[in-house]
Structure 1
C-alpha cells in the first residue's frame, strides 16, 4: 500500500536521491510511496528550502512590542495578575485580549506562576555579615564541617496543621469524613525541643520545659549533652548555635570557655545556613506519619523521639556535606536569600 506520510529520515533520503539525479518515479518506488508525494515534497523543498509543511495557525493578535510590554511589566511587578496585565495593556495600547492570551505570552518568556519563597526579613547590615561569613567558610573541606555539631531549638504542635498532607479522592467527595483534615483553631499548644546533628551522629532530643534561659541551657543541654558529645568527637569539635540570648549570655560563654569548647561564629538571620533546619523538616514529616492529633505533650514528645531516631544517618550526613554549597549560594546572592 502506498504511503502518503513520510518520516523525516525518509524525506531527507528522498531529497538526497533527487538531488543526485534520480527520477521521481524511481525515488517513489525506493521509498514505497507514490510519485505525487515525491513531487510535492521536491516542489516544497525548492520553494521553501524546508522538507516539512508549515501550518500557518491562528493569526497572532499581539505585536512584538505588546508582548514585551506584558513580559517587562511582569518582571518589574512579579505579583501582578493576568487580569491586571490585561487591563494595563488595554489602557496602554488599546487592545483587548483574554487572560489566557496574557498567560501564553508570559509563558513564551518562561515566566510561570509560582508560590514565592518564604524567608525571614533580612536587614542590610546582616546581608554584609552573611557574605563575609560565607566567604570565610566557603573553602572549608568536608573534614572541617564534619567536626561541627549543628544545634537549634524547634517547636512542634500537639495538633499540627500541615499542608503536606495529601489524599486520593474522586471529584465531589471532598466533604466525606476520610477526605477532610480537622484543624484546631488554637492548635492545642506546642512543645519546644532541642537537638543537634553532625556527620556520623546526632544528639538526643531534649524537651524544654517552660522556656529556655542561659542557666537552663547550660544545665539541661550543655553539661549533660554537649560536653560528652564534644569528648567523643575529640579536640576538633566545634559547637554551632545561633545568636539567641540564652546562647550568647555571659554565663554560657564562660562555661564554654572553661570547658574548652570552640563555638562557630554565626551570622544573624541565617537559618538557611544551618542544616538542622532541614532535619526539623524531616522530623515533622515523621511526626505526621505517626498521626496529627496527640492527647498530650508526653505523647507528642514520644513520637518526636522515635521519629528523630528513625531519620537515616545518611540523610543527616548529606545535610552536613551541603555546607560548602550553602556558603557558595550566599556568596552568589551577595549575602541575600538562598533556596536552602
Structure 2
C-alpha cells in the first residue's frame, strides 16, 4: 500500500496545530492522506499532483465530510476528530469505527481509506492518550425534577451557614473506579500500579460540613451494614459531641441535611433526632437523586484527589484511614466556607434548569 510519511504530511499542511514530533503524525495510506490534505484546505488539483493520484475519491468524500471541519448539516458528525487530527496539541477522542467507517464506506471511499478511518484514527487517539469516563449520575424523572424545584424554592432565602450537610462515602485501597486511566503526554512514562488478586478493600466514612467547619470524619467499622441502629452509633461518635459543644443560641438555628437513605429516614432515626432537637423545619426535606445539591460532594472530591495523588495505593485499610484523617486535616476553613456558600448558587441553578442538574445550564 502506498503511504505518505508523517513529515511530508506536516510539510504539505504547514499547520501550526500539529505537534512538534513527527512520530505523532503517523504514516497515512495514500487515499487517507489525499482526503486529509483536501480537508485541510489544499486544492484537489494540488493533491493530485503531489500524491500522483487521480483524486477520484475526493469529490465523493467531500460530499459527506465538511471541508471546514465543522459539523455536517446533513449528518451532524465530523471527520476532524479522526483522520485529520493526528498530532494535534489538544488531544481529542473519536469513535471512528462506529461513526466514520460506515459513512466513508457508503460514500464509495477506497478500501484503504475505510480501513484508515477505522485503524489510523483510533490508533492516533491512543498515541495521544486516554481519558477518564464521565461520572455517572442518577436519572431524573419529571417527579424528581418537580421535587428538586420545590426544594430550591423552599430554601431560596435560607441562611445556609446554619445547615449541617452530611453524607457517607467509601475510599478504596486502589482509588475510585476509572482513576486507573488518564491523559499521558507523549514521551512521559506511564505510572505503574500493582494489581491485587482478591480485589483489595476500602473504608466507609461519614462526615459533615457546616459554615467553615468539618465534623468528622467518622469511620464505619469494617463489614458493618449501615442500618438505622448503626447510623445512630455513627452520629454518636462525632456529630452529637460536636452538637452538644455549640452555644444554645446557635443550636436553635442549626438545620440537619441528610439524604433519603433508609437508615436516615426510618422512624427509629427520626425519633432519635427529635430527642436531640432536630424535628420539623430543622430537618431539611431532601429531594431524591440529588447529590449535586449537596456541597459535601465536592469535599469528597478534594479528599480523594489528595488520597490518590500520583497514583498512590494503600496496603491496608488502617493505612488508608490514617491517610484519610491527614487529608481532612489539610482542608482549611476557607475551602469549607466556599463549599457551604455554594449552596446559594446551586439553588439558583436548579431553578433555572427547571429541576435539572445544576451543571446542565449556566446562570444568565
Instruction: Say whether the fold is shared (TM-score over 0.5).
Output: yes
2:231 corresponds to: 217
Kept in 2: contact 1:158–1:189 (CA 8 A): yes
Question: How large is the RMSD of aligned CA atoms in angstroms?
Answer: 3.7
Q: Which of 83-92 and 330-339 deviates more? A: 83-92
**Structure 1 128/230 Cα, relative in aligned 2: closer, same or farther at 3 Å?**
farther
Sort the Cα spacing of 1:80 and 1:70 in 2 relative to 1 into closer, same or farther, 3 A: farther
Deviation at 1:269, TM superposition (A): 0.8
Among 308, 321, 335, the residue aligned to 1:288: 308
Contact 1:290 1:303 survives alignment (8 Å): no
In structure 1, distance between residues paired with 2:346 and 2:305: 23
Deviation at 1:301, TM superposition (A): 0.9
Contact 2:204 2:219 in 1 (8 A): yes
Q: 1:155-170 alignment to 2 at 5 Å?
A: 155-160=170-175, 162-163=179-180, 170=187
> TM-score scaled to structure 2, two decimals?
0.61
Residue of structure 2 equivalent to 1:182: 194
Number of the residue aligned with 1:253: 270
Question: The residue matched to 2:216 in structure 1 has which SS?
Answer: coil
- Spell out the pairing of 1:218-237 with structure 2 (5 A cutoff): 218-222=232-236, 224-226=238-240, 228-229=242-243, 232=246, 233-237=250-254
Partner of 2:208: 196
Matched position secondary structure for 1:284: helix
Q: 2:150 aligns with which of 132, 150, 162?
A: 132
Alignment of 1:35-184 (within 5 A): 58=43, 61=59, 62=62, 67-71=72-76, 81-82=95-96, 84-86=98-100, 89=103, 94=107, 96=109, 116-137=134-155, 139-140=156-157, 144-160=159-175, 162-163=179-180, 170=187, 174=190, 179-184=191-196
Post-superposition offset of 1:266 = 0.5
User: Does residue 1:208 correspond to 2:220, yes or no?
Assistant: yes
Query: For the residues of structure 1 that align with 2:315 and 2:134, how far apart are their CA atoms?
Result: 35
Q: How far, CA to CA, are the matches of 1:324 and 1:315 in structure 2?
A: 16
What TM-score results when the alignment is normalised by the length of structure 1?
A: 0.65
- Stretches of 4+ aligned residues off by more than 6 angstroms: 97-101, 164-169
- Superposed, 1:298-309 pairs within 5 Å as 298-309=318-329
In 2, the alpha carbon distance for the partners of 1:193 and 1:116 equals 24
**How far apart are the structure 2 equivalents of 1:278 and 1:135?**
23
Cα distance between partner residues in 2 of 1:219 and 1:80 = 50
**315 and 214 in structure 1: CA distance in 2 versus 1, 3 angstrom threshold:** same
Q: Which runs of 5+ in 1 are unaligned?
A: 1-55, 104-112
Q: Deviations over 1:2-52 (max 9, x none)?
A: xxxxxxxxxxxxxxxxxxxxxxxxxxxxxxxxxxxxxxxxxxxxxxxxxxx
User: Which protein shows a greater Rg?
Assistant: 1
**Equivalent residue for 2:126?**
none
Whether the aligned pair in 2 keeps the contact of 1:146 and 1:198 (CA below 8 Å) is yes
Unaligned runs of 5+ residues in structure 2 are 1-40, 45-57, 67-71, 80-92, 122-130
CA offset at residue 275 of structure 1?
A: 1.0
Q: Which residue of 2 aligns with 1:45?
A: none
The Cα offsets for residues 298-319 of structure 1, whole Å up to 9 and x where unpaired, read as 2211111111111122122111
Cα offset for 1:292? 2.8
Q: Contact conserved, 2:295 with 2:339, CA < 8 A, in 1?
A: yes
Matched residues in 2 for 1:241 and 1:329: separation?
21
Give deviations 1:237-295, integer Å, cap 9, x for gaps: 01111111111111110121222122111011111111111101111122124973323
